[in-house]
């Protein structure tokens, strides 16, 4: 279990995308964490395990976001917010492009709505309510969104997956921009992107055939490593993207 000692004892956490493979694993670990005093789980279904407050939110319906987050922050400021939402296939089953010839506006719009615009709207709703502590005793607060290594423009060597790659590159830019603004008001706050590794979830399942078993993480392993990374990142590295090992991913 990640120690999460960089957060105050009794920290308050929220996971959005709590129904997903990685989101569920994050909830499982935070739910039994001795330092976490309040845990909220957002998903489209709104369900949550015992001891966790669940609520419903759909990123493709922006009007559902602000009221849902308002209900959570009314109970107290948040120290840890992790956005574990995202899609690779759209709701019609359309998958990532193999060539620019396959680019479709409807697929790209849905992928951007959920992977880029959704987390941006969450940031708008959540960032003003991150815990700050006091001037003499500042507290660490983190807004982390699950991004992907393929969102790196400089690391793109194979082409394909235009919508997903671009949606994550856009997400990374949103996170960087929010981090700059957040630092002015909250010098101890952190706003970062995270690459979870290749993880055995519904999202990656159609593409696991060529992944060596040793490189395919179970969600619990990825979640534990991501919490370790979150624990080590301070405000001096806000705005960047890190992988599950803590290595920075180039923009």
Ligand X SMILES: NC(=O)c1ccc[n+]([C@@H]2O[C@H](COP(=O)([O-])OP(=O)(O)OC[C@H]3O[C@@H](n4cnc5c(N)ncnc54)[C@H](OP(=O)(O)O)[C@@H]3O)[C@@H](O)[C@H]2O)c1
Packing angle, helices 105-112 and 162-185, rounded to 10: 30
* Interaction mask 146-185, ligand X, x per CB under 6 A: x-x-------------------------------------
Single residue of 59, 123, 130, 131 touching ligand X by CB under 6 A: 59
Single residue of 15, 22, 131, 192 touching ligand X by CB under 6 A: 22
Q: Does 58 bind ligand X (CB under 6 A)?
A: yes
Nearer to ligand X, 191 or 235 (CB): 191
CB of 199 to ligand X, least distance (A): 4
Those residues with Cβ within 8 angstroms of residue 34's Cβ, 6 or more apart along the chain or in another chain:
none
Q: Does 43 bind ligand X (CB under 6 A)?
A: yes
Single residue of 7, 12, 20, 169 touching ligand X by CB under 6 A: 20
Q: Does 17 bind ligand X (CB under 6 A)?
A: yes
Q: Does 114 bind ligand X (CB under 6 A)?
A: yes
Residue 108 φ/ψ, nearest 5 degrees: -65, -40
Distance CA(87)–CA(140), nearest Å, equals: 30
Which residue, chain included where needed, has tokens 């759909």? 58
Nearer to ligand X, 8 or 219 (CB): 219
Q: Does 41 bind ligand X (CB under 6 A)?
A: no
Distance CA(249)–CA(204), nearest Å, equals: 20
Question: What's the DSSP call for residue 17?
Answer: S
Nearer to ligand X, 58 or 139 (CB): 58
Element (H, E) at 22: helix 21-31
Query: Binding segment for ligand X among 6-14, 85-93, 154-162, 184-192 (CB under 6 A)?
Result: 85-93
Cβ atoms within 10 Å of 146's Cβ, excluding its own: 26
Nearer to ligand X, 172 or 201 (CB): 201
Q: Does 28 bind ligand X (CB under 6 A)?
A: no
Asked whether 140 and 190 are in contact (CB, 8 A), the reply is yes
Query: Helix count (H) and strand count (E) of the chain?
Result: 6, 9
Helix (H, G, I), strand (E, B) or coil at 216: strand
Single residue of 29, 163, 201, 238 touching ligand X by CB under 6 A: 201
Distance CA(153)–CA(87), nearest Å, equals: 19
CB of 131 to ligand X, least distance (A): 24
Residue 156 φ/ψ, nearest 5 degrees: -80, 105
Binding site for ligand X (CB under 6 A): 17, 19-23, 43-45, 58-60, 84-87, 114, 146, 148, 195-196, 198-199, 201-204
């Amino acid at each position: 279990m990640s120690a999460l000692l960089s957060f105050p004892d009794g920290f308050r956490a929220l996971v959005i995308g709590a129904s997903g493979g990685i989101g569920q694993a994050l909830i499982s670990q935070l739910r039994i964490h001795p330092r976490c005093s309040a845990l909220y789980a957002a998903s489209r279904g709104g369900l949550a395990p015992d001891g966790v407050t669940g609520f419903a939110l759909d990123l493709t319906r922006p009007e559902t976001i602000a009221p849902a987050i308002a209900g959570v922050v009314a109970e107290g400021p948040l120290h840890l917010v992790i956005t574990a939402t995202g899609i690779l296939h759209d709701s019609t089953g359309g998958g990532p492009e193999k060539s620019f010839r396959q680019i479709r506006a409807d697929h790209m719009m849905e992928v951007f709505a959920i992977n880029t615009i959704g987390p941006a709207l969450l940031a708008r709703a959540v960032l003003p309510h991150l815990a700050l502590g006091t001037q003499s005793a500042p507290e660490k607060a983190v807004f982390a969104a699950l991004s992907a290594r393929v969102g790196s423009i400089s690391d793109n060597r194979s082409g394909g997956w235009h919508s997903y790659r671009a949606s994550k590159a856009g997400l990374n830019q949103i996170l960087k921009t929010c981090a700059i603004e957040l630092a002015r008001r909250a010098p101890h706050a952190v706003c970062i992107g995270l690459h979870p590794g290749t993880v055995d979830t519904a999202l990656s399942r159609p593409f696991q055939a060529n992944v060596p078993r040793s490189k395919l993480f179970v969600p619990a392993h990825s979640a534990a490593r991501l919490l370790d990374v979150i624990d080590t990142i301070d405000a001096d590295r806000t705005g960047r993207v890190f992988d599950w090992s803590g290595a920075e991913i180039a923009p």
